[in-house]
Amino acid sequence: MTDSTSGLKLGTTLYSMTPAFHGREYTFEQLVRKVAAENLGPGLEVVGFQSIKGFPVVTDEYAGWFKDLIAETGLTLSCLGINADIRIDPDKPMSDDESVTYHERQLEAAAKLGFPLVRYQYPAGPAVIERLAPAAERLGVKMGLEIHAPHHTQHPDVLAYREMYERVGSPMLGFIPDFGASARAVPPSFFEAQRENGIPEDLITLAQEFWHQEGDPYARRERYIAAAREKGYPDREIMSLVIIFGLFSRAAPESWAEIMHQVIHIHGKFFDFDDNGDEIAVDYARVLPVFVKGGYSGFMSSEYEGHMWNDADGFDKIRRHHAMANRFMAEAA
């Protein structure tokens, strides 16, 4: 479908199969082999602290086994998810020095396993990431800030990174758009799960009204809570819906074009499909052409996250996601 060396290439993050892995239905190796066998690569993304016990410690023996497995399957390592665990002690956040060391160990693990880039998280802070640029260059591992809802390209937290990137000018620093940040709706399956938990339909309607309004998502969340309390709903019911204001947000898909020259990877977040095979919450017909026409070259990991509220088959979901993405990319080309 796509050129094998440039343009937007597809892939899978094993995070999509969290229930099957956590439930011990598939080992890591079985997941990797199944992704390859079902042609759900070529890109393969892994979350270090999920797939590898003891991460970021990676023994020579494990790294050898890991690289042999990837080579045998023919998959291409696209991205390693690393974490900004600055509150391992909840009462005493890491200093910048400790955080630099903590991140550097994960970068070294990525290099040892053969990943070309890592996904990092915004709590790291621009000052820490700036100090890691030399390590990224030394190790040959790019670092991408995941821009995840409720962030967007013009959010102050993201602008701070953009300014630092501009100043440092390192080719090793980039961005990873997560399409949950440019959604058009809340996934219907989220509300279905809430209905099954007894959340009233009128409260769901109220939450959706506030989700679709303009303005800062957390301000809208507060207005929703106030309005729901005024109507007499108990807090237990009200609070079961508040995560929609953080998990999915409504940046314009076209806004990703602002940072296109710095996009090094994509999280193709998705949840539910309609009868035509189109994703309901994320408008892929609108967002994919932004990247195709913007000249993006790299992987998009299919990232299914409906497992936060149900146990749907991640492999089935990714097959559908790849079919849809191939269709829209062919149209956009």
Partner 1 sequence: MMDHRVVSDNGLASKPGGCTIDVRLPWYRALPLSTVRLEAVEIDGETIDPARVSFELEGEKLRPADLAARTDKWWYVLDSAFVHVDGKETPKGTSHDVAVTISFRPPYIMGLNRIVRTAKTLVAQ
Q: Does 198 sit near partner 1 (CB under 8 A)?
A: no
Among residue numbers 288 through 327, which ones bind partner 1 (CB under 8 A)?
Answer: 307-311
Q: Which of 135, 160, 185, 193 binds partner 1 (CB under 8 A)?
A: 193
**Using CB under 8 A, which of the segments 22-30, 107-115, 282-290, 316-324 binds partner 1?**
22-30
Q: Does 49 sit near partner 1 (CB under 8 A)?
A: yes
Closer by beta carbon to partner 1, 83 or else 249: 83
Distance (Å, whole) CA 114 – CA 45: 12
For residue 64, what is the DSSP state? H
Closer by beta carbon to partner 1, 61 or else 89: 89
CA atoms within 13 A on the CB side of 271: 26
3-class secondary structure, 177: strand
Q: Which of 2, 7, 33, 50 binds partner 1 (CB under 8 A)?
A: 50
* Tokens linked to 327: 């269709």
Q: Does 24 sit near partner 1 (CB under 8 A)?
A: yes
Among residue numbers 82 through 141, which ones bind partner 1 (CB under 8 A)?
Answer: 83-90, 121, 123
Q: Which of 1, 3, 6, 23 binds partner 1 (CB under 8 A)?
A: 23
To partner 1, the closest distance from the beta carbon of 308 in angstroms equals 7
Closer by beta carbon to partner 1, 112 or else 307: 307
Phi-psi region of 7 (alpha: psi -120 to 50; beta: other; left: phi over 0): left
Q: Does 62 sit near partner 1 (CB under 8 A)?
A: no
To partner 1, the closest distance from the beta carbon of 70 in angstroms equals 20
Closer by beta carbon to partner 1, 42 or else 217: 217
Distance (Å, whole) CA 326 – CA 266: 15
Contact flags string 261-290 toward partner 1, x per CB under 8 A: ------------------------------
Burial class (CB in 10 A: 0-12, 13-18, 19+), 271: buried
3-class secondary structure, 193: helix
Q: Which of 148, 151, 152, 321 is catalytic?
A: 148
- Which residues are CB-neighbours of 111 under 8 A, at least 6 positions away? 139, 140, 141
Closer by beta carbon to partner 1, 47 or else 300: 47
Q: Is position 148 annotated as part of the catalytic site?
A: yes
* Per-residue H/E/C for 151-165: CCCCCHHHHHHHHHH
To partner 1, the closest distance from the beta carbon of 23 in angstroms equals 8
Alpha helices in the chain (DSSP H): 18-22, 28-37, 48-51, 60-73, 96-113, 126-139, 156-168, 188-196, 201-211, 217-230, 235-239, 244-247, 284-293, 314-332
* Tokens linked to 286: 């609108």
Type of residue at 51: S
H or E segment to which residue 117 belongs:
strand 117-120
Closer by beta carbon to partner 1, 6 or else 310: 310
Distance (Å, whole) CA 40 – CA 34: 8
Residues within the interface to partner 1 (CB under 8 A):
15, 18-19, 21-24, 47, 49-50, 53-55, 83-90, 121, 123, 193, 307-311
Catalytic residue annotation: 148
